[in-house]
């Protein structure tokens, strides 16, 4: 079994970045106010140049509530996104924030459409969870 490999989220190697460009369902983990993990399936886009992972969602979702509730905690709202394909996996971690400004949301929707090959239906409740990345790990060598 391959061991975990830590990486710089702003400077991924070619294989790691290629894996994040493939079409995979991901998970987002946020922490509930009681500290327990809340894990849900999501689409994620990874922007190493900006050091960000982005997730579009409804402003009334539990994941948004978790991020907002944790914003004032020491260390902020910690979050992780992960994707798995058989023996390959990649996780990105950082501090999450919620953005509702139209330009940021539109940019995130365009990035989602590029990665997943479909544009989500318009949703006036859509916001963006942006994760400022400080850790990347995974095993993405070919099987």
CA within 13 Å, CB half, 98:
22
**Angle at the Cα of 98 from the Cα atoms of 51 and 14, rounded to 5 degrees:** 20
User: Rounded distance, CA 94 to CA 92, Å?
Assistant: 7
Q: Is the pLDDT of residue 87 over 80?
A: yes
CB within 8 Å of 82: residues ≥ 6 apart? 26, 27, 29, 89, 90, 91, 92
pLDDT at 6: 79
pLDDT per position as a tens digit, 8-60: 999 999 999 999 999 999 999 999 999 999 999 999 999 999 999 999 999 99
pLDDT at 130: 98
pLDDT at 34: 94
pLDDT at 72: 87
CA within 13 Å, CB half, 26:
28
CB within 8 Å of 11: residues ≥ 6 apart? 48
User: Rounded distance, CA 60 to CA 17, Å?
Assistant: 31
pLDDT at 60: 97
User: Rounded distance, CA 108 to CA 102, Å?
Assistant: 10
């Amino acid at each position: 079994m391959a061991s975990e490999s830590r990486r710089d989220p702003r400077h991924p190697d070619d294989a790691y970045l290629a894996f994040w460009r493939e079409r995979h369902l991901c998970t987002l983990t946020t922490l509930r106010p009681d500290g327990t993990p809340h894990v849900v399936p999501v689409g994620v886009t990874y922007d190493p140049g900006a050091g960000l992972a982005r997730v579009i969602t409804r402003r009334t979702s539990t994941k948004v509530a978790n991020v907002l509730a944790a914003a004032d905690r020491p260390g902020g709202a910690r979050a992780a996104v992960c994707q798995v394909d058989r023996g390959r996996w990649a996780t990105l971690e950082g501090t999450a924030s919620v953005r509702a400004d139209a330009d940021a949301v539109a940019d995130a929707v365009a990035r989602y459409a590029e990665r997943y090959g479909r544009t989500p239906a318009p949703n006036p409740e859509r916001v963006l969870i942006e994760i400022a990345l400080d850790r990347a790990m995974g095993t993405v060598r070919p099987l």
